[in-house]
């Protein structure tokens, strides 16, 4: 054994001379300094960001890994409204959805700050692998981050495809094709809710005010009750709080549209509020009234607002004008169930079943 050790020791010394050990030590020190410089700055920035976020109102019981996800029920827009009522201040509340801090906006003034006053800061979208897979690398107008590509896409859509003039020119074709298109469009959800409410209040069907009915249906039943998340591109001030760069913000437009502070009988279907002389007669759905945002507001407002409004109007008028409607016998006894089901969009849990009857000449 002694002979073996004596044989290998010189080999080790010859392979790794003292100078090599010194060089390795110096390289390790340099690498350590570079790592500290690189990640030490990141840690400092992260700590500063966490300090700013910690000043925002937030629910207790934040759990490791999942954050506040356990507080979100089967209808997220309802859960967020209830959480904001208990834990929010000035219409703002911070939730940690997993590891992602998310600012939930639930008041018109806070929504105006995000979507108009600081619109240039909150104009981007957060990266998501899911949207990359489902929406062609997030290159569409809805999910594309703010930049030159998004501006070009928006210009094409709003200037050449969905202007008022273009939408009007499609009207004749829509009258023939719209019922087919509705089956794959969120417009069908609004139409179904509108018909359900009209069946509950037949007197409104006899004196149909289409625009008011559509507006009231959108107020109560937005297909997308939570606006798509916005991403802040710089630090900014919202309602007295400093919101750091890189924060996601979700506007709960459903909560705004049902807030009893701004809407009389907020949970009741009352199209007359949008008619002449009504409390909301002057409101439109173009993002100018921040208690009513069915299509959002600001730079990232839904560009299909004209097309959707016109499509729903054509469908509703044709259904009511050409047919009388009755509930099936089994439904007439128990009434129409308006329970919601949350998914990519929010729709009725039960499909609406109606019996069309040709009007008598």
Look at the pTM and tell me if it is higher than 0.95.
Answer: no
- Collapse the DSSP code of 295 into the 3-class scheme (helix H, G, I; strand E, B; otherwise coil) and give the result: coil
236 in a domain, yes or no? yes
30 in a domain, yes or no? no
Whether the predicted pLDDT of 301 surpasses 80: yes
Please enumerate, by residue number, every residue annotated as part of a binding site: 302
DSSP 180: H
Please enumerate, by residue number, every residue annotated as part of a binding site for heme: 302
| Structural contact between residues 40 and 67, judged by C-beta atoms closer than 8 angstroms | no
- State the sign of the Cα–Cα–Cα–Cα dihedral 25, 27, 30, 32: negative
More confident residue, 136 or 311: 311
Tokens of 7: 């044989």
More confident residue, 82 or 144: 82
Q: What is the CA radius of gyration of the chain?
A: 29
Query: What average pLDDT is seen over the chain?
Result: 82
335 in a domain, yes or no? no
356 in a domain, yes or no? no
Tokens of 196: 């359900």
351 in a domain, yes or no? no
Residues spanned by the domain of 202: 53-322
48 in a domain, yes or no? no
The predicted structure's pLDDT at residue 97: 92
Number of domains forming the structure of the chain: 1
Distance (Å, whole) CA 188 – CA 350: 14
- Collapse the DSSP code of 129 into the 3-class scheme (helix H, G, I; strand E, B; otherwise coil) and give the result: helix
Whether the predicted pLDDT of 196 surpasses 50: yes
| Structural contact between residues 189 and 258, judged by C-beta atoms closer than 8 angstroms | no
Distance (Å, whole) CA 251 – CA 198: 29
46 in a domain, yes or no? no
Of the candidates 328, 127, 158, which has an alpha carbon nearest to the alpha carbon of residue 229? 127
pLDDT in tens, 238-251: 999 999 999 999 99
Q: What is the CATH number of the domain that holds 222?
A: 1.10.630.10
304 in a domain, yes or no? yes
pLDDT in tens, 260-291: 999 999 999 999 999 999 999 999 888 999 99
Tell how strand 248-251 and strand 100-105 pair up: parallel
């Amino acid at each position: 054994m002694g002979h073996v050790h004596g044989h290998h020791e010189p080999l080790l010394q010859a392979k790794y001379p003292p100078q090599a050990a010194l060089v390795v030590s110096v390289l390790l020190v340099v690498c350590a300094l570079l790592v500290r410089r690189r990640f030490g700055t990141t840690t400092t920035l992260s700590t500063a960001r966490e300090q700013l976020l910690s000043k925002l109102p937030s629910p207790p019981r934040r759990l490791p890994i999942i954050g506040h996800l356990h507080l979100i029920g089967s209808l997220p827009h309802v859960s967020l409204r209830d959480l904001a009522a208990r834990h929010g201040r000035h219409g703002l509340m911070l939730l940690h959805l997993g590891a992602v801090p998310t600012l939930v906006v639930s008041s018109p003034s806070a929504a105006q700050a995000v979507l108009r006053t600081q619109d240039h800061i909150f104009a981007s979208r957060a990266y998501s692998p899911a949207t990359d897979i489902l929406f062609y690398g997030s290159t569409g107008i809805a999910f594309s981050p703010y930049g030159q590509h998004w501006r070009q896409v928006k210009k094409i859509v709003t200037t050449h495809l969905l202007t008022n003039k273009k939408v009007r020119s499609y009207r004749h074709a829509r009258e023939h094709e719209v019922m087919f298109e509705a089956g794959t469009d969120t417009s069908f959800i609004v139409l179904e809710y509108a018909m359900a409410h009209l069946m509950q209040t037949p007197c409104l069907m006899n004196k149909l005010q289409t625009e008011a009915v559509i507006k009231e249906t959108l107020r109560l039943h937005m297909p997308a009750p939570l606006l798509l998340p916005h991403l802040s591109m710089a630090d900014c001030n919202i309602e007295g709080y400093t919101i750091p760069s890189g924060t996601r913000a979700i506007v709960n437009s459903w909560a705004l549209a049902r807030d009893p502070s701004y809407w009389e009988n907020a949970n009741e279907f009352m199209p007359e509020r949008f008619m002449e002389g009504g409390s909301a007669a002057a409101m439109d759905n173009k993002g100018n009234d921040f208690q009513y945002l069915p299509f959002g507001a600001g730079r990232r407002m839904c560009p299909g607002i004209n097309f959707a409004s016109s499509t729903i109007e054509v469908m509703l008028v044709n259904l009511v004008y050409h047919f009388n409607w009755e509930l099936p016998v089994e439904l007439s006894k128990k009434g129409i169930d308006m329970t919601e089901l949350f998914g990519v969009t929010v729709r009725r849990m039960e499909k609406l079943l109606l019996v069309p009857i040709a009007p008598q000449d």
